[in-house]
Amino acid sequence: MRQAKLLNQQVLYNKWGKAFCVDTLQMPDGVTFDWAYTKSRGGVIIVALDTDKNIILVRQFRYTIQEFTYENCAGGVEEKELDTNTASRELFEETGYRSEKLISLGTYYDLPSETNHWCHIFLALDCQHISQPILDKDVEKYFEMSIEIKNFLEVYNSLGTDKSLVKSSEHSFGIFLAHRYLTVHQLI
């Protein structure tokens, strides 16, 4: 794949930072085929804990799977925006909380066979409630979003079981990384 020659690229849709593409590739041996994928800007996930080490989760309806989900707050990095600024902005917009202790847990790719999307995961400690969430005017207002405060260790210990609230692999991974950080630094 590394030595594939791009013969053609069709962008089937390009809006809201997401492009759905089909590339026609030619391999060094002459074989050609189409490769379909999405291109998107990066994003952030914030595992937010209040001063009592409760996790602040966002409950919202996800049209794609036709279910309510529990997730960490998250969002897309705007053009020329620093990841840390995105994390602070999304934390406040989706939850109404702020944190002065934003810790990077690393940047990871989500499903690299299907998309170039990357996600920078942060841990926000000692979050303070400032106001009601301020949802964007485009689509978030339709997500039926609400904030739920849960015991962090109970959420962590439920991951991978049928009792887990968090079903997304990337959000579960963020919680695992947060738990490792908190354990290593003897914060739990």
* 3-state secondary structure at position 35: strand
Domain with CATH 3.90.79.10 in the chain: 43-184
Contacts 24+ apart (CB under 8 A), 33-40: 37/114, 37/115, 37/116, 38/114, 38/115, 38/116, 38/117, 39/115, 39/116, 40/76, 40/115, 40/116, 40/117
How far apart are the C-alpha atoms of 92 and 98, rounded to whole Å? 6
pLDDT in tens, 48-60: 999 999 999 999 9
pLDDT of 141 > 80? The answer is no
pLDDT in tens, 72-126: 999 999 889 999 999 999 999 999 999 999 999 999 998 899 999 999 999 999 9
| Residue 18, strand partner residues | 15, 40
Token representation of residue 83:
């990841």
| Residue 95, strand partner residues | none
How far apart are the C-alpha atoms of 152 and 137, rounded to whole Å? 30
Q: Which pLDDT score is estimated for 103?
A: 98
Confidence of residue 134 (pLDDT cuts 50, 70, 90): confident
How far apart are the C-alpha atoms of 30 and 8, rounded to whole Å? 15
pLDDT in tens, 154-167: 999 999 999 999 99
Q: Which pLDDT score is estimated for 17?
A: 84
Confidence of residue 170 (pLDDT cuts 50, 70, 90): very high
Of 98, 102, 43, 119, nearest to 75 by C-alpha is: 43
Does residue 110 or residue 29 have the better pLDDT?
Answer: 29
Token representation of residue 143:
């997500």
CB half-sphere exposure, 7, CA atoms < 13 A: 11
Which CATH number, 3.30.1490.20, 3.40.50.800, 3.90.79.10, 3.60.70.12, labels domain 43-184?
Answer: 3.90.79.10
Confidence of residue 45 (pLDDT cuts 50, 70, 90): very high
Q: Which pLDDT score is estimated for 126?
A: 98
User: How much is the average pLDDT of 21-38?
Assistant: 96
Name the pTM for this structure: 0.91
CA 95 to chain centre: 15
How far apart are the C-alpha atoms of 75 and 73, rounded to whole Å? 7
